[in-house]
Amino acid sequence: MKKWYAVIGDPISHSLSPFMHDHWFEKHGIDASYIPVHVEPKQLEQAFRSMKLLGISGFNITLPHKQAAIPLLDELDDTARIMNAVNTVAAENGRLKGFNTDGDGFVRSLLSYPVDKERALLVIGAGGAARGISFALSRAGFSNITITNRTFRRAQELADETGSKAVVLAEAEANLSEFATIVQTTSVGLTEEALPLSLTHLGSGSVVADIIYNPLETPFLKEAKAKGCLVLNGVGMFVNQGAIAFEKWTGIRPDTEEMIQLITEKLGGNHVNR
Ligand code: ATR
């Protein structure tokens, strides 16, 4: 019987997940459909009941439901529990199990670049995204992580939880050349021409990542590139979080490089940004 999958969010019409998963289902000869469903916060519980009733095989959860979904699940995996947020659900025998593939998706994306796990890595930001990424980086063996954030207290709390260091923004800015890898996790650059911190002291040998993928090149990445750094945008994280979800549902590891290229083209770029 044909299987069905979905992504729920508010808003949802611009999601690229249906394109991505439908492409992979077709490529692997899997008889399944993946649909975007607009669910408002007040409808979340009803949406879960309905999807279960209608025999959904799995779904993704995007903003603003990643936390509110937790009490509606039958089971939660450790990563989702630590992050207190769910982006992927698998239905097995009518039971819904929640996962979070965002942090691991970022790490997979980063590892396709020449990065050294022993060398100093800076995470900018201390919100939900930074949390998932910091835990995933630690799990993956990155051993020298520093966190900085506009609100220092949040950086300190996250650093304490992940066994990392925390520094104030001014200190991170002054010592930027010491970081071999820099990861930008805030929303700065999404809608405005601004930087989360000054890149004056950035060296030319760093790998600089931004989790934003629309625009493909944030002002932060543009400046890092101009300084000679190797840069990566958030397309790789987006595709890899989807690939890990797809693998949980089907057992198949899809082609992420081809999908990064396709999504980049959809977003107006003509080549992979590296
Ligand atoms: P998300 O789940 O997307 O990470 P979040 O939990 O609201 O969202 O966290 C947003 C992050 O972006 C935080 O690190 C936030 O810094 P504060 O903790 O100081 O609020 C950061 N951020 C948002 N707007 C910012 C701005 N204009 N300048 C610097 N940092 C900003």
- Do residues 215 and 80 lie in contact, with contact meaning Cβ atoms separated by under 8 Å? no
Closest-CA residue to 9 (of 53, 68, 56, 52): 68
Report how far residue 10's alpha carbon sits from residue 165's, in angstroms, rounded to the nearest whole number: 35
Give one DSSP letter per residue of 220-244, joined into a string: HHHHHHHTT-EEE-THHHHHHHHHH
Query: For residue 186, which atom of ligand 1 is closest to its CA?
Result: 12
Give one DSSP letter per residue of 80-95, joined into a string: HHHHT---EEEEETTE
Report how far residue 88's alpha carbon sits from residue 101's, in angstroms, rounded to the nearest whole number: 7
Each residue's pLDDT tens digit, 131-164: 999 999 999 999 999 999 999 999 999 999 999 9
pLDDT of residue 173: 98
DSSP label of 73: -
What H or E segment, with its residue span, contains residue 183?
strand 181-184
C-alpha 85 to ligand 1 mean position (Å): 16
Using most ligand atoms within 8 A of CB, pick from 67, 185, 186 the residue to mutate for ligand 1: 186
Q: Which of 27, 52, 66, 165 is catalytic?
A: 66
pLDDT of residue 273: 46
Each residue's pLDDT tens digit, 226-257: 999 999 999 999 999 999 999 999 999 999 99
> Tens-of-pLDDT digits for all 274 residues of the chain?
999 999 999 999 999 999 999 999 999 999 999 999 999 999 999 999 999 999 999 999 999 999 999 999 999 999 999 999 999 999 998 899 999 999 999 999 999 999 999 999 999 999 999 999 999 999 999 999 999 999 999 999 999 999 999 999 999 999 999 999 999 999 999 999 999 999 999 999 999 999 999 999 999 999 999 999 999 999 999 999 999 999 999 999 999 999 999 999 999 986 544 4
pLDDT of residue 269: 84
Using most ligand atoms within 8 A of CB, pick from 86, 150, 237 the residue to mutate for ligand 1: 150
pLDDT of residue 274: 45
- Do residues 26 and 248 lie in contact, with contact meaning Cβ atoms separated by under 8 Å? no
* 66 is an active site residue: yes
Is the whole-model pTM more than 0.75?
yes
Report how far residue 132's alpha carbon sits from residue 103's, in angstroms, rounded to the nearest whole number: 5
64 ligand 1 Cβ < 6 A: no
pLDDT of residue 108: 98
Structure tokens at 208: 């600089």
What H or E segment, with its residue span, contains residue 124?
strand 121-124
